[in-house]
Amino acid sequence: MYKIIGFPRTRAMRVIWMLEELGEPYELDPAMPHSDTVMALNPCGKVPVLIDGDAVLTESVAICTYLADKHGKLTFPPGTPERARQDSFTQFGVDVLEGALWTAAKNSFIHPEEVRVPAIKDVCKMEFARGLRTLEQRLGDGPYVMGDTFTIADILIGNCLGWAMVAKFELPVEGPVHDYFTRLRERPAFLSAMATATATS
């Protein structure tokens, strides 16, 4: 059984959702970032951490990619053009969408108050909105970013959209991105992951 270490309302949610999609059993230790438990496994103090036997894995994108490759699900095979396109969506989610959200968060409550730059949050919201416009252009006609196939890229982008909702970033109330976000949040595995998050909050 896998063990996830990390409070669910962090990037640990991505791994919880991933394992729910895979139908794999897991144990959850809702440790907070920089707690003694986390620091003992990841010197930078970040969550999630995944324990798989003797392997200790960190960084949510790396963990999700590992799980997808290991189980041969929610991903296209390495070395294919489809995998490269999938990875480009993953990178887009992390670089463009998460980048804006993370910078805003660091300047809201993570960095020491004396070094925060509150005004940068307006720039972050602008960058995020521009990213959503790009996402709308790239979505195409399929229900997911890779067409009919749900992949880890959808988990990572979907997590960013949920993060934006909590952070009060503006999200579209109609149109392709709104419909895409709705499809993601209606998936049974996502609902199960949210139930886990709620139960451990």
pLDDT of residue 4: 98
The answer to whether 25 touches 1, Cβ cutoff 8 Å, is: yes
Amino acid code (one letter) for 112? P
The radius of gyration computed from the CA coordinates of the chain, to the nearest angstrom, equals 17
- Domains assigned to the chain: 2-74+190-199 (3.40.30.10), 81-187 (1.20.1050.10)
> What pLDDT does residue 179 have?
97
Model confidence, pTM: 0.96
User: What pLDDT is recorded for position 35?
Assistant: 97
pLDDT at residue 200, as a whole number = 86
* Torsion angle of C-alpha atoms 54, 58, 64, 70, degrees rounded to 10: -20
Handedness of CA 103, 104, 107, 109 (dihedral sign): negative
Per run of 10 residues, the mean pLDDT along the chain (length 201 residues) is 96 98 98 97 97 98 98 97 98 98 96 96 98 96 96 98 96 97 98 94 69
Per-residue confidence (pLDDT) for residue 51, from 0 to 100: 98
* HSE-up of residue 54 (Cα within 13 Å, Cβ side): 0
- Angle formed by the axes of helices 81-92 and 120-139, nearest 10°: 150
- Region of 79 on the Ramachandran plot (φ > 0 left; ψ -120 to 50 alpha; else beta): left
Please list, in sequence order, all residues whose beta carbon lies within 8 angstroms of the beta carbon of residue 151, skipping any fewer than 6 positions away.
Answer: 68, 74, 75, 76, 86, 89, 144, 145
